[in-house]
Structure 1
Amino acid sequence: MSSHQIERVQKIIANRGYVSRRKAEKLISEHRVKVNGEVVQDLGTKVSVDAQIMVDNHLVEPAAQKYYFIFYKPRNVVSTMYDPKHRKTIADYFKAVPTRVYPVGRLDYDVSGLILVTNDGEMANFVMHPRYEFIKTYQALVNGKTSKQTVNQLLKGVTIDDDNYFTKALTARIVNYNPDKNESIIELSIAEGRKHHVKKMLAAAEIDLKKLMRTKIENIELDQLKPGEYRSLTPYEVRSFYGTYKAVRRKTDS
């Protein structure tokens, strides 16, 4: 990488896979970051991408290798690398990986399914940014027999949250109905990500949710993974996903 290229300090820290950009900004605000021996005072500070950066006097070095994983998060696992309540976290499943990795975004404690785990700070920051919309697909196990009219309501749109935010599913369909258990499975996809977004949409459509699972992000699927398992993304999946988000960035930046 050329030493003539300059970036904001928090972006370089994130790109080196140390912490997310938001966490890096917090570290800078707390005056815990030094560049070439000088404490960084301003979030707008730009430096060479190969500058010496230290956090709490520990060197922040670029990750030698980028890792990209699909993880099937089980229910009742916290989608962070540390939990002050000492519940099971994603970190418990990635002890064999020889570098610090972290989840891209969050899945609720009681929601299972696909979450990306990486040490690529640039991609993680981009995917988590609320400005950029990635298509995420979910399957909901719900009580009762769901009607087509109810599913169509998700497509037409519902209002959620105290600010009456209007939102609609990109796709929604009934996958299955089990008459013995009187349960339905609904599949829906969204390109937004407010807190508890899908749960609130289902509640607004008066759908009685039992369990929720994320099955897909853009072109990346769980495939044959079981809860608690992970696999590396293939080079094709990484290229394809990068292509998706660069296209999204061009569209939103224009």
Structure 2
Amino acid sequence: MNNDTPSSFITGRCTLVGAGPGDPELLTVKAVKAIQAATVLLVDDLVNDEIVQAYARPGARIVHVGKRGGCKSTPQAFIERLMITAVREGETVVRLKGGDPFIFGRGGEEVEHLREAGIECTVVNGITAGLAAVTALGVPLTHRDHAQGVVFVTGHAKTGAGAAEDPTDWRALAATAYNARLTLVIYMGVSGAGHIERELLQGLPGDTPVAVIQHASLPHQRHIATTLGNLQNGIAEAGLASPAVIVVGDVLRGLAAAEVPVDADKFGT
């Protein structure tokens, strides 16, 4: 089939499925059904292998399309072409993504490209890492006494032609978080932790509680509870790396008081 195939002649279908933060038991029922029905699975690196092994149908074509921050990744345009081609060939395609497809998963871009090709797709939400990470610590993202809202933000700047040098105004975000009593959940921020710390300190106190959670929901989850003024040092001393989520805000005060901030031997689930 060529790129001008009318949508009425397209017999395949595509679903963007959120695989959640890693724990297979956190999959939704709808996600499991979609995975079981797929004849082609395009799987991100951060998806737990156990999910594919447990639910992919025998004979399904499984294509690993690596998408991991800080590592060499499959070009997005190539993934989109694979999706469109497979649907036009009559396949039932599942694009299996870590967390939720519409929270820093580039799901919006993929939906746009599919629609431009005359293909409508379904989206199945997954539990995003920012939610699972704090829940695993027994901490809420909002609390009537500490936080009236939550902001999800990426710490990884878009690169390439036309990209802003630092698209996130961390100073303005810090001031807003302080005045409006918001919890900040920062994805893909470990590599830029020093810059994020310096900028957030322009609007938030140095003793603002911070948690950094690596491999949220998995058996090898690790975390630190520290303060904003010690964010970069805490990450370095504990040896934490991506994939990890940084959470900033007063909802963490109880956690911070209960733990030694940067002794790596004391970290874990």
TM-score by length of 2: 0.24
Compare the two structures and name the one with the higher strand fraction: 1
Compare the two structures and name the one with the higher helix fraction: 2
TM-score by length of 1: 0.25
